[in-house]
Chain A
Amino acid sequence: MYPFTYSRATDVADAVRDKAGHDGSAYVGGGTNLIDLMKMNVEQPAHLVNVAKLPLAKIEDLPNGGLRLGATATNSDTAWNEQVKARYPLLNQAILAGASPQLRNAATNGGNLMQRTRCYYFYDLATPCNKREPGSGCSAIGGFNRIHAILGASEACIATHPSDMCVALAALAPTVRVSGPQGERSIAFEDFHRLPGDHPEFDNTLAEGELITSLDLPEKGFAKHFAYLKLRDRHSYAFALVSVAVGLEMDGDTITDARLALGGVAHKPWRDHSAEALLKGQHATAETFGRVAAHVVANAVGQGSNDFKIELARRAIVRALKQAAEGKQEAGDVYLGGQ
């Protein structure tokens, strides 16, 4: 790699202070994304503040009936937490669909939210990339863009957010608690990640120096009727081409509440409120699902090599809605494809 300095934070205040005291510094959690990018010289922090051992690893009940996921709890510990399995099985399945057991053992919840796109050009210093070098251009537009966005992209950037966990979170709508030089605040999950617009260099709305401390899930967990469906080039240990997270509440055959979010299709986990509204009050039929799926991709735009994603997403939405309505997917120790 290249030379940098390092320290291990002792508590949240110490971490925030240490980061603020070093220009061009970064927090490191599990390191599974940041260290990879540092080896490629994409990220080059001059100083690392290790937050992995901060006392933020707890998963605990909130007085409002929700559940707090500590920012430094590992993805594995979060997926396998008994409360998560019982109350938020969608999250359990989405996390276990991502990466590998080794990576999930190291990866932290905070780091998962902050992971960067897997756009090939973002990683390749020899090519223009607006996310890496603002103003340099976007090599993916007109280039190889099989893994790129079909919704919400801009002329500056068509990258996707690669996380599986975040797709389930988009459906479950937690708040992200952060602590920074200006104090503490909470960000609605939906407002955390952003669309690229003219500034693809910003993945999210975190301010300089802010540290994620927890994700606070609301009580509603859609534990009976949910589905996480991930479609990829190989059966395991690959990023999603398209993924779908669904949470439904049902009264008999009627959908009384719905959440729908997509992964692999946009710069942020793509929650579609209008599709959710279309589902509410409807019978869970193939006709309903087909109509809603067509609505979600109505404005989708392909870039050439990723044109297939539009039809893939449409079909995946139908299948995931059907699976959720049937209520067959369960929390588990493994993700076996959401069948």
Chain B
Amino acid sequence: MSQLLTRAPASGGLPAPVPTGPVRLHINGETQTLQLAPWTSLLDALREYAHLTGTKKGCDHGQCGACTVLVNGRRINSCLTLAVMHEDDDITTIEGLGTPDNLSPLQQAFVDHDAFQCGYCTPGQICSAQGLLNEGRAHSEAEIKELMSGNLCRCGAYVGILDAVSEVANSQGEMVK
């Protein structure tokens, strides 16, 4: 049996800091080569190295959804994955969904429905909602609620968030009602 707790060998200690290396990421349609250490999370790479600060760090442990981004169109928590694990993946952040002059349908719906208060969870909510629309598996409000449950809102703007996501899902013909 293997001892599952994996630790660096006691004798050698931790390896000497590994120099950063080039990591090629496709972010919002642009290819960027960033100098990153293996232990840099995708979230930190986006915020600190690609300077895209729209994606937020809430818990850093997969528990809140503030860091949600789309990787090859699918929503994941960028805090629990390493940037090096996404070489050559297509990453979309809130900045890639729309611009202030040209909001995406979800971004517009969040504004229209007052779907935030402080706004900290909002980029994650919108990226998650975009992932939900891409998946095409929410066909009722109850299903939207369940499939948006990976995004917490400390301000409790859930009613507005549900209205915003429902409106766009409806307009895209995803709802059964």
Contacts and interface: CB of A to CB of B under 8 A. Distances in A.
Asked whether A and B interact, the reply is yes
Interface of A: 1-6, 8, 23-26, 28, 30-32, 35-36, 38-39, 42-48, 50, 52, 76, 80, 99-103, 105-106, 114, 116, 131-132, 199, 201-210, 235-237, 333-336
Contact of B8 (A8, A24, A28, A336): A24
A35 to B, nearest CB: 5
Given A3-B14, A201-B3, A333-B138, A35 B41 contact: yes
Contact of A236 (B60, B87, B146): B146
Contact of A102 (B41, B61, B84, B128): B128
Given A31-B80, A201-B3, A334-B137, 18 more contacts: A3-B15, A4-B15, A31-B82, A35-B41, A36-B61, A45-B6, A45-B7, A46-B14, A100-B65, A102-B62, A102-B150, A105-B74, A106-B80, A114-B4, A202-B3, A202-B4, A207-B2, A235-B149
Interface in B1-59: 1-9, 12, 14-18, 37-39, 41
Interface of B: 1-9, 12, 14-18, 37-39, 41, 60-62, 65, 68, 74-77, 80-82, 84-85, 87, 128, 131-132, 135, 137-139, 142-143, 145-147, 149-151
Contacts of B2: 202, 206-210
Nearest to A122: B5
24 contacts: A2-B14, A6-B38, A8-B85, A24-B8, A24-B9, A26-B6, A31-B82, A31-B85, A32-B80, A36-B62, A43-B5, A43-B7, A101-B75, A101-B147, A102-B77, A103-B76, A103-B80, A105-B76, A132-B5, A208-B2, A236-B146, A334-B142, A334-B146, A334-B147
